[in-house]
Amino acid sequence: MGSLSVQWAALAALKEKNQGRSILSLFDTPNRASEFSAQTGDMLFDYSKTNLDAETRDALLALVEAADAPAKCAAMFGGEAINDTEGRAVLHTALRNLDGGPVYVDGFDVMPGIHATLERMRIYANHIRNSDITDVVNIGIGGSDLGPAMAVQALSPYHDGPRCHFVSNVDGAHIADVLRGLEAKTTLVIVASKTFTTIETMTNARTAKAWMQAQGGDASAQFAALSTSEEKTRDFGIPPERVFGFEDWVGGRYSLWGPIGLSLMIAIGPDRFDAFLRGGQEMDRHFQTAQGVGNLPVMLALVGIWHAQVCGYASRAVLPYDQRLARLPDYFQQLEMESNGKAVQMDGTPVDVSSGPIVWGAAGTNGQHAFYQLIHQGTRIVPCEFMIAAEGHEPDLAHHHQLLIANCLAQSEALMRGRSLEEARAKMEAAGLSGDELERQARHRVFTGDRPSTTLAYPRLDPFVLGQIVALYEHRVFVEGVILGINSFDQWGVELGKELATSLQPIIEGHADASEKDGSTAALVGFLHQHQKQ
Ligand code: F6P
């Protein structure tokens, strides 16, 4: 188990020792809720409905120390090349360092460049907001899509700019459905790609350009690019004044804070975009300065480690009780799974514990009527991460919000408390059943309970709070990655599929045969060719 074997063993022993102790019983201790929660400003992270006690928490904190997390955190903020399989610094935090000092990469302060690009974005965003442009189409995929798409939806009450649309899938259905109904002359197309090589994005970008030209739009004026590659954006025909660049030390899934956030800035305006950055900056400060149990990202990470690596729960559900955060589970899925879904440590040796969990989820209350059945009564334990605002943006519909809160809190209570066989029997008796039928029906109504969950509570989903939430999870992923000993900032696992797709393309197009492929692939190619009519 590498250098943390002692700490992992201690945690395994604590898990063993506390086997059978219910989460509910932990509330016999006074102040359980306040002692097992952390707060920064108006944001509260409650992890009291988990099986952590003070001893386990100390053992988890020992993991943080043993992994040298504080020094690694300083190295990240300090611009060291901690992404060492790609030889890059990791400085998405610099993009939101609005009020901070210089940040050096190889002895060079990157802040003047960041401020200059941000200022160009502001000018451009205001120009678009004050122009005839009615629709913005962001073409990108992965980190160049999920972040802005999630955030534009999350902040819709603040959206006073042109409508925003997002095209990501290479499936022609996606771009066809988005462009249908748009007026080319009043549409701005933003091609968002860090590398400007991603096949899905470049294919969609060329299709959008052809559509623009065919529909009488001005492709030379109505395209902007967000990328690290000046050369490739120029080759595509987008002039430098409409290219917003960033450096390779901003990872795709961490890039919402900079040029990749342009569609968001156009939607909500530069001032509110600044508030979003300030929320992230505030979480950075908290992460760097709050000690031990008072540190939200650290505690969120440790709860995650406890559930995934110590208890062996394979997945976790992100459950925002906030319809406007409906895309947040998708966004966190990339953030966490592309960052920590790896089998080797920094030094190339295997990870000795399981790597990052499967992250999934949906907005509440919708999920309650879809998959919560399994969460409550299935044989697998799924730790749940609830999120809830104290109030919504619809004062006239405040009663909806009260109902939303009631549902959110009811779910975490039900998961913890459950319903015993005796209680189920009493219910069946009250319903008039008796004998074998009562017994049979009662068993279907038992909830084992003792299922862990956390709740993140915040005043209202405004730009600042969204910035806090996103940065909170980024740092959580960082701390978990440090404890696992892996590089959270590369993504070699996406390469093989890309290479094989490139080699399959001529076969699918009929320019090469499939004889070199395995039997299944060759047969599938044959079937699909046989059924192609166009
Ligand atoms: O899926 C791999 C990946 O590189 C992601 O990390 C990234 O967010 C996405 O592709 C898009 O990359 P790009 O912004 O370079 O088009």
Q: What is the dihedral of CA 147, 150, 154, 155, to 10 degrees?
A: 50
Q: Which atom of ligand 1 is nearest to the CA of 144?
A: 14
- Looking at ligand 1, which residue's alpha carbon is closest to its atom 8? 143
Could you report the predicted ipTM of this complex, rounded to two decimals? 0.98
Q: Which atom of ligand 1 is nearest to the CA of 201?
A: 16
Among residues 111, 158, 132, the alpha carbon closest in space to that of 276 is found at: 158
Q: Which residues contact 465 (CB under 8 A, 6 or more apart)?
A: 43, 279, 389, 458, 459
Element (H, E) at 506: helix 495-508
Lowest-confidence segment of 344-353, 408-417, 466-475 by average pLDDT: 344-353
Query: How far does the centroid of ligand 1 lie from the alpha carbon of residue 499, in Å?
Result: 14
Query: How far does the centroid of ligand 1 lie from the alpha carbon of residue 144, in Å?
Result: 7
This prediction's pTM? 0.97
Q: Which atom of ligand 1 is nearest to the CA of 252?
A: 8
Query: How far does the centroid of ligand 1 lie from the alpha carbon of residue 256, in Å?
Result: 13
pLDDT tens string 106-129:
999 999 999 999 999 999 999 999
- Looking at ligand 1, which residue's alpha carbon is closest to its atom 9? 142
Catalytic positions are 338, 369, 498
**More reliable by pLDDT, 362 or 533:** 362
- Looking at ligand 1, which residue's alpha carbon is closest to its atom 4? 252
pLDDT tens string 318-334:
999 999 999 999 999 99
Pair of tokens at residue 215 = 């529909």
Element (H, E) at 187: strand 187-192
Which of 85, 191, 197, 198 should be mutated for ligand 1, with most atoms under 8 A from CB?
198
Query: Residue 311: left if φ>0, alpha if ψ -120 to 50, beta else—which one?
Result: alpha
Query: How far does the centroid of ligand 1 lie from the alpha carbon of residue 137, in Å?
Result: 18
Would you say 278 and 467 are in contact if contact means Cβ atoms under 8 Å apart? yes
222 pocket-lining for ligand 1 (C-beta < 6 Å): no
Paired strand residues for 318: 361, 385
Q: Is the predicted pLDDT of residue 444 greater than 90, yes or no?
A: yes
Distance CA 303, CA 473 (A): 13
Query: DSSP of 407-465, one letter per residue?
Result: HHHHHHHHHHH-B-HHHHHHHHHHTT--HHHHHHHHHHT-B-----EEEEEES---HHH
Would you say 143 and 257 are in contact if contact means Cβ atoms under 8 Å apart? no
Among residues 134, 132, 235, the alpha carbon closest in space to that of 193 is found at: 235
253 pocket-lining for ligand 1 (C-beta < 6 Å): yes
**3-state SS, residue 153:** helix
Paired strand residues for 46: 37, 455
Query: How far does the centroid of ligand 1 lie from the alpha carbon of residue 157, in Å?
Result: 29
| Mean pLDDT score of the chain | 97
Query: DSSP of 238-251, one letter per residue?
Result: --GGGEEE--TTS-
Element (H, E) at 167: strand 163-167
Query: DSSP of 13-65, one letter per residue?
Result: HHHHHTTT--TGGGGGSTTHHHHTEEEETTEEEE-TTSS--HHHHHHHHHHHH
| pLDDT band per the 50, 70, 90 thresholds, residue 534 | confident
Distance CA 146, CA 162 (A): 19
Query: How far does the centroid of ligand 1 lie from the alpha carbon of residue 375, in Å?
Result: 32
259 pocket-lining for ligand 1 (C-beta < 6 Å): no
| pLDDT band per the 50, 70, 90 thresholds, residue 2 | low
Mean pLDDT of 78-106: 97
| pLDDT band per the 50, 70, 90 thresholds, residue 1 | very low
Q: Is the predicted pLDDT of residue 143 greater than 50, yes or no?
A: yes
138 pocket-lining for ligand 1 (C-beta < 6 Å): no
**3-state SS, residue 135:** strand
254 pocket-lining for ligand 1 (C-beta < 6 Å): no
Pair of tokens at residue 393 = 């943006």
198 pocket-lining for ligand 1 (C-beta < 6 Å): yes
Which of 170, 195, 331 should be mutated for ligand 1, with most atoms under 8 A from CB?
195
Distance CA 152, CA 257 (A): 13
pLDDT tens string 267-283:
999 999 999 999 999 99
| pLDDT band per the 50, 70, 90 thresholds, residue 354 | very high
pLDDT tens string 489-509:
999 999 999 999 999 999 999
